[in-house]
Amino acid sequence: MTASATADSARKRQLLELAYAYVLDHGLADMSLRPLAEAVGSSPRVLLFLFGSKEALVQALLARARQDELRVLDAVRSDQDGKQDGRQHDLARVGALVWEWLAAPEHLRLNTLWVQSYARSLTDDSGPWADFARRTVTDWLDLLAAAQPPAHRDSPAAEAERALLLAVLRGALLDLLATGDRPRNDAAVAAHLAAIAPGRD
C-alpha cells in the first residue's frame, strides 16, 4: 500500500468514527452529507471520494453499528462459556444480561439508531438497508439458542421459547425508548424471565 493510500485509509477510519458519533446523535435514515461533513470537519466531496457514494457511507455506518452489537453478543457468550456452575445453558440468565445492556442509559443512542435502522430496513429492502433487520434478528436468536441445552434447542418448543424472549426484550426496549419508564419495563422483563427460569414448574 502506498503512503497516500495508507493516509487515505487512516483518514477514512477517522471520519467513519466521527460520522458514527454524529449519527448516534442525529440519526441515520435522513442523513444529509453537507451537515455531516461540516460536523466531522470534512466536506461532501472528501466523504464521497473516500467512501465512493452516500449509499456506501451509510452501509459503512450500519456495519460500524453492528460491530457494537456483535461486541455485546460476544461478551454475553464469553460470560456463558466461562460458567462452571451448571448455568452454561440458562436462557433466563442470558436474557437478563441482554436486558441489562439494552436498558443501560449509556446505550440509549445506539439503541435508538438500531431502531431507526431496523424500521428503515423493513420498508426499504434495497441498498445499504437491505437485510439489516433480518440479520439483526438472526444474530440475537443465535445467541439465545446457544443458551439453551443442546438436546432441546432444535425443538419447536425451544425455537418458540427464544423467539418469545426476543420479542419481549425488543418490545420492552421500544417501550423504554418511547417512555423512559425503566422500572415498569424492568418488572415486565423480570416477570417473563422468572417464567422461563430453570426449575420452574
CA 173 to chain centre: 12
- The Cα–Cα gap between 73 and 91 comes to 14
Question: In the chain, where are the structural domains located?
Answer: 1-52, 65-196
**Mean pLDDT for the chain overall:** 88
Q: What is the pTM of this model?
A: 0.83
Instruction: State pLDDT tens for residues 132-172.
Output: 889 899 999 999 999 999 998 999 999 999 999 999 999 99
Q: What nine digits make up the cell of 132?
A: 439489516
CA 48 to chain centre: 26
Instruction: State pLDDT tens for residues 58-86.
Output: 999 988 988 888 888 888 887 766 554 45
- The Cα–Cα gap between 152 and 28 comes to 40
What is the three-state SS of 15-57? HHHHHHHHHHHHCCCCCCHHHHHHHCCCCHHHHHHHHCCHHHH
What Cα–Cα distance (Å) separates residue 171 from each residue in 102, 164, 165? Answer: 11, 10, 10
- Side chain identity, residue 85: D
